[in-house]
Amino acid sequence: MSDVQLMNIFEELNRLSFSRQQLTDKRNILALLIQFKKNNGQNEQQYPSEAEELKEIDEQLKVLTEKKIELENLQERLGGSHLIDTTVSTTESPPSYPAPRVILEIGELPRHSAPTQCPFCRQYVTTEVTTKAGSAAYIVCFISILFCCIAGCCLLPFCLDRCKDVIHKCPKCRSHIQTCKKL
């Protein structure tokens, strides 16, 4: 019977901890609101509802704290304080920006570095990108020669990354993952 009572006490302590955390967060936000109003030149008579609500939250926190102390004392009398951990861990909220999209289909890799899974070492990596003159650079060079751009302008495609093929490599195992051809 005492194990059931201990579990009930443990669950109630968890509920109390959660309620106390919510009230504390609400109190902090309300205190920030009051401080904001004070900084903007409003006096305390202009926001009595916030001050009353702040007092109510403080009273509720006091009641919850007393309840928590009573439950912890009861738990100690039943001999379960060493069996159950009453601390509640909190986690941070997720970031406001979306997680990066990992490209698992190698054929869909863009012309810039991208997160993917290396097919050779099976690690999740952000690819290293290098460029290499490919068929597009040679075709643009040939077309510029046909239009009488002999003065060196025909070599311009070999200097521009836009005309070159992009090679994705794994930064961990140095394997060639994919070549994105311009044409």
Cα–Cα distance for residue pair 155/159, rounded to 1 Å = 7
Residues 129-169 have pLDDT tens digits of 999 999 999 998 888 888 876 677 888 888 988 889 999 99
Cα–Cα distance for residue pair 159/161, rounded to 1 Å = 7
Domains of the chain, by residue range, sit at 2-77, 106-180
* Average pLDDT of the segment spanning 54-72: 88
Residue 84 in this model has a pLDDT that exceeds 50: no
Cα–Cα distance for residue pair 107/179, rounded to 1 Å = 9
Half-sphere exposure for 27 (CA within 13 Å, toward CB): 15
Q: Considering only CA atoms, give the Rg of the chain.
A: 33
pLDDT grade for 126, boundaries at 50, 70 and 90: very high
Residues 167-179 have pLDDT tens digits of 999 999 999 999 9
